[in-house]
């Protein structure tokens, strides 16, 4: 069902004749649709409602899962590498090359989707080591910059696994070397860099999908660990580990990463990259938006349709749909959001979207909002787009 103030707002732009330009730029719908699949379904819904519309489909990512797919759509060349998965088993992951910049997606190596929910203690065991191994593969080509897309990970180790994969040594208070596993964070005191840093003058950018810090009530453990399988007791353990890790990073690098904005992304890996490699944190959504040429497309559009699986407070913290909506607002272009589920009680949502549709409310009879997501998205967008066009008198 649609969420609205009274009806879908009318566009402030007048299309040429009766052929509006519609940009379709969704992120993934986790567990049901990739960003590409979602874009295809939403575009079909638009075309059935407005057969004369010019539809520009641009699958999105905010730096988390789906970043490599979005880059591929922008013309990137991808390469595969076997790396350590989140629970230690090998997985096949991709990294990408585009215009002298290499891209790594953390979820490819330690994504939540790569873990088995039945494994006990998975939230405490999960490692970011595979991300470090992908970084080494990307660095071998001597790019001028490496961008690390952060989000959707199973780990909450602050990038400790990355550090170990890059050759850093972790020591306890007595100077004894600790093994490269997440539990070592219970004892870590300081870290020692490798004798030959593998990155040289390569600039490293941490592309985040959230603005949360590493520690505290808005930190990596408190906000995100439960969705990775952590119990309340596990969250307390993870918070304590991240606190110890941030102190060890400070001793070893002189960089205080405990309160860096966005440092909590990908289980704190963003903070780890800042501390270990001096990475600069940037918006992952904005990075992909620029690569896909969305600013210019939105300036020319009469309507934008975006969305993701869950439209909530985390979306407002820097995820793709809101980044898209901010661009559209600056261009005086209406935006419709289509989500699997949305927090429609949050008044801030109405600041960005003229209408919000939910697949969970659209399902009828035996339809399921996950398995039938493409069908529901087409039907919902058809209705919302038709109402938008009727409001404009088209």
pLDDT at 3: 42
The span from the CA of 358 to the CA of 363, in Å, is 9
End-to-end CA distance of the chain: 23
The span from the CA of 218 to the CA of 236, in Å, is 13
Tokens of 262: 């966005």
Residue 25, helix vs strand vs coil: strand
The strand pairing partners of 147, in sequence order, are: 103, 205
Calculate the alpha carbon distances from 239 to 120, 164, 269, 283 in Å.
19, 20, 14, 24
pLDDT digits (tens, 9 = 90+) for 36-63: 899 999 999 999 999 999 999 998 887 7
Q: Tokens 């299309």 identify what position?
A: 15
The span from the CA of 80 to the CA of 266, in Å, is 21
CATH 3.90.1510.10 occupies which residues in the chain?
67-285
pLDDT digits (tens, 9 = 90+) for 87-97: 999 999 999 99
Residues 6+ positions from 58 with CB-CB distance below 8 Å: 23, 24, 25, 39, 73, 292, 293, 294, 297
Tokens of 330: 């600056």
Confidence check: pLDDT of 274 > 90: yes
Residues 6+ positions from 345 with CB-CB distance below 8 Å: none
The CATH class, in words, for 2-60+293-391 is alpha beta
Q: Give the phi and the psi of residue 173 in degrees, each rounded to 5.
A: -60, -25
Q: Given its phi and psi angles, is residue 121 left (phi above 0), alpha (psi -120 to 50 degrees) or beta?
A: left
The span from the CA of 170 to the CA of 352, in Å, is 45
DSSP letters along 326-389, please? HHHHHTT-EEEEEESEE-TT-GGGGGT-SEEEEHHHH--TT--TTTTHHHHHHHHHHHHHHHHH
Calculate the alpha carbon distances from 129 to 49, 126, 180, 195, 351 in Å.
47, 9, 9, 19, 40
CATH 3.40.50.10350 occupies which residues in the chain?
2-60+293-391
Confidence check: pLDDT of 5 > 60: no
pLDDT at 73: 79
pLDDT at 17: 52
Confidence check: pLDDT of 344 > 90: no
- Beta carbons of 116 and 122 less than 8 angstroms apart: yes
C-alpha torsion 66→71→75→80, nearest 10: -70
The span from the CA of 241 to the CA of 194, in Å, is 22
The span from the CA of 256 to the CA of 254, in Å, is 7
User: What does the mean pLDDT of the chain come to?
Assistant: 90
The span from the CA of 24 to the CA of 346, in Å, is 24
Q: Tokens 């969705």 identify what position?
A: 227
The Cβ-side half-sphere exposure at 37, using a 13 Å CA radius, reads: 17
DSSP letters along 149-189, please? E--SBS--STTHHHHHHTT-EEE-TTSPBPPSSGGGGGT--
How many other CB atoms are found less than 10 A from the CB of residue 18?
11
pLDDT digits (tens, 9 = 90+) for 147-202: 999 988 999 999 999 999 999 999 999 999 999 999 999 999 999 999 887 788 89
Confidence of residue 1 (pLDDT cuts 50, 70, 90): very low
Confidence check: pLDDT of 313 > 80: no
Confidence check: pLDDT of 352 > 50: yes
Instruction: State the average pLDDT over residues 265-286.
Output: 95
CATH code assigned to 67-285? 3.90.1510.10
The span from the CA of 371 to the CA of 363, in Å, is 11
The span from the CA of 290 to the CA of 62, in Å, is 11
């Amino acid at each position: 069902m649609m969420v609205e103030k009274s009806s879908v707002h009318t566009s402030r732009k007048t299309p040429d004749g009766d052929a509006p330009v519609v940009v379709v730029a969704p992120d993934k719908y986790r567990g049901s649709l990739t960003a590409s699949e979602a874009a295809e379904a939403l575009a079909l819904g638009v075309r059935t409602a407005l057969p004369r519309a010019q539809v520009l489909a641009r699958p999105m990512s905010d730096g988390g899962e789906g970043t490599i797919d979005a880059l591929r759509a922008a013309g990137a060349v991808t390469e595969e590498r076997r790396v350590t998965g989140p629970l230690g088993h090998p997985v096949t992951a991709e990294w990408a090359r585009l215009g002298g910049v290499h891209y790594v997606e953390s979820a490819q190596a330690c994504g939540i989707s790569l873990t088995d929910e039945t494994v006990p203690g998975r939230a405490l065991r999960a490692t970011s080591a595979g991300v470090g191994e992908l970084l080494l593969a990307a660095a071998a080509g001597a790019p001028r910059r490496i961008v690390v897309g952060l989000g959707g990970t199973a780990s909450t180790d602050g990038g400790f696994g990355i550090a170990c994969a890059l050759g850093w040594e972790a020591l306890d208070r007595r100077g004894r070397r600790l093994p490269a596993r997440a539990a070592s964070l219970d004892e870590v005191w300081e870290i020692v860099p490798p004798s030959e840093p593998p990155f040289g003058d390569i600039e490293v950018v941490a592309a985040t999908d959230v603005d949360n810090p590493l520690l505290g009530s808005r930190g990596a453990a408190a906000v995100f660990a439960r969705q990775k399988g952590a119990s309340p007791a596990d969250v307390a353990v993870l918070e304590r580990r991240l606190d110890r890790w941030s102190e060890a990073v400070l001793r070893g690098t002189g960089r205080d990463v405990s309160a860096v904005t966005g440092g909590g992304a990908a289980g704190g890996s963003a903070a780890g990259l800042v501390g270990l490699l001096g990475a600069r944190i940037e918006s992952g959504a904005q990075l992909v938006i620029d690569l896909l040429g969305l600013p210019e497309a939105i300036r020319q559009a009469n309507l934008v349709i975006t969305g993701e699986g869950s439209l909530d407070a985390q979306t407002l913290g820097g995820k793709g749909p809101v980044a898209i909506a901010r661009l559209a607002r600056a261009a005086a272009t209406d935006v419709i959001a289509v989500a699997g589920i949305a927090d429609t009680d949050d008044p801030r949502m109405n600041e960005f979207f003229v209408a919000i549709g939910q697949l969970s409310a659209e399902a009828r009879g035996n339809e399921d909002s996950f398995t039938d997501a493409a069908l529901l998205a087409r039907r919902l967008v058809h209705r919302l787009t038709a109402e938008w066009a009727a409001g404009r008198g088209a």
